[in-house]
Copies of this chain bind each other. A is one copy, B any other.
Amino acid sequence: MSSAAARTTGQDRLWSVDDHLEDILATVRPLEPIELQLLDAQGCVLVEDVTVPVSLPPFDNSSMDGYAVRVADVSGAGEEYPAVLTVVGDVAAGVGELPHVGPGQAARIMTGAPLPPGAEAVVPVEWTDGGLGEGPVSGMRAHSAAPEGASGQVRVHRPAEARAHVRAKGSDVRAGDLALGAGTVLGPPQLGLLAAIGRGTVRVRPRPRVVVLSTGSELVQPGEPLDTGQIYDSNSFALCAAARDAGAIAYRVGAVADDAETLRSTIEDQLIRADLVVTTGGVSVGAYDVVKEALSSVGDEDEEGAGVDFRKLAMQPGKPQGFGSIGPDHTPLLALPGNPVSSYVSFELFVRPAIRTLMGVDDVHRPTARATLETEKALTSPSGRRQFLRGTYEDGRVTPIGGAGSHLVAALAHADALIVVPEDTTSVEPGTEVEVVLLG
């Protein structure tokens, strides 16, 4: 306890936003890769170069429903004098033996089916009479309804060049080609490619498991009645949702009362399923800031890198912040302030990049833009603090929404950008160009 007490009177250093973030990103390491089923790997980062084991397509195949023919047999074919060929069988995709197509012969063939031996080209069914002897048709009759379509004669009304309507083996990718490089984020088309080349599983960094808990004896679960002096817990909901949006699997523990022993044992319990722990509240200079109190003894202080530091940052909102690692696995922990807007802004600035770093993606930051400030009167900002104001961004213009108060959760719900006012700026005139973080 004495160390916790000592902490509250020491550490007067004011950390810059950048130094705090740099400290976090230098500590958090990408998760160890695991082999996952394709659909479990959606949104994950590939950690291996994947090469093509078998060329795609793996064999010459038809790009049309039609007839596989020899070029010489149809060379003079026309509407008036069709080539009349003997149908020697059906070639359906994935089914049975391939017939040999000899001179004067044709095989009925389906899209994707292998070009049978002897055949040199495919004529689409629309260039034929479909074996019905009544002029051009628009399609084949279903095999189940008319099995005789695979026999008899077919009239072909147009010639075809060699390889016409044939997709060549390897024309998509060739065996040995690089399909996807390490570092690729696996979205739908990438998963499609992996499946197409036969990969059932893939080696990726898993989605980080993030445990979110809010602290405060005043917090009540939404939906329950509110007593005097109580408010609803909102941080654990907003931050769980934000962690998911960032790519994590989020576990909401809910609100923990301001009791250091309860908090400590709750966090220790959760470590088993946590790649990252996020707390809100209890990090400031009050007498009941139990996150600070509890976490100073969770880490093994004799071990290098263990323990949580509590800091004051040169930012608004979000001045008090904690960061460190806890437990036997040195699980990273970010302790955010308890005000809803402070905690959300802190999440965007520090937790989201930490989650993205755990995932192993290259670009861990939200996109930023320059925007013209649309406002009636100048914005004011405290000297020496980097201020993050909520705003709405559109077409290079940003409009502040709500005030600077860190409790303005209603305004936050209508914002889609953070307006950044640098440390050395105390006033921003309307029409000034400012930096904005796009919350997307």
Q: Is A92 an interface residue (CB 8 A)?
A: yes
With CB as the reference atom, state the residue of chain B lying closest to A410: B173
With CB as the reference atom, state the residue of chain B lying closest to A114: B229
Q: How many copies does the complex hold?
A: 2
Q: Is A110 an interface residue (CB 8 A)?
A: yes
Q: Is A234 an interface residue (CB 8 A)?
A: yes
Distance of A197 Cα from B340 Cα, bound (Å) = 12
Task: Kindly list chain B residues whose C-beta atoms are within 8 Å of the C-beta of A226.
Answer: 54, 58, 198
Least Cβ–Cβ distance between A189 and chain B, in angstroms: 5
Contact of A288 among B10, B92, B237 (CB under 8 A): B92
CB pair B409–A172 under 8 Å, yes or no, is yes
Complex interface bits, A255-292 against B, C-beta within 8 A gives 1, otherwise 0? 00110100000000000000000000000111111101
Q: Is A216 an interface residue (CB 8 A)?
A: yes
Least Cβ–Cβ distance between A355 and chain B, in angstroms: 13
* Chain A interface, number of residues (Cβ within 8 angstroms): 121
CB pair B287–A140 under 8 Å, yes or no, is yes
Most-contacted residue by chain B among A144, A260, A412 (CB, 10 A)? A144
Complex interface bits, A1-26 against B, C-beta within 8 A gives 1, otherwise 0? 11011001111100000000000000
CB pair B92–A195 under 8 Å, yes or no, is no
Least Cβ–Cβ distance between A249 and chain B, in angstroms: 12
Q: Is A68 an interface residue (CB 8 A)?
A: no
Least Cβ–Cβ distance between A365 and chain B, in angstroms: 17
Q: Is A389 an interface residue (CB 8 A)?
A: no
Task: Kindly list chain B residues whose C-beta atoms are within 8 Å of the C-beta of A234.
Answer: 192-193, 195-196
Task: Kindly list chain B residues whose C-beta atoms are within 8 Å of the C-beta of A338.
Answer: 111-112
A141-B5, A144-B1 given; A240·B39 CB < 8 A:
yes
Contact of A222 among B38, B137, B220, B222 (CB under 8 A): B38
CB pair A413–B193 under 8 Å, yes or no, is yes
Task: Kindly list chain B residues whose C-beta atoms are within 8 Å of the C-beta of A405.
Answer: 63, 167, 171-172
Complex interface bits, A222-247 against B, C-beta within 8 A gives 1, otherwise 0? 11101011111111111111101100
Instruction: Kindly list 4 other residue pairs between chains A and B, CB separation below 8 angstroms, not including A93-B288, A144-B260, A179-B410.
Output: A8-B142, A59-B229, A173-B409, A196-B340
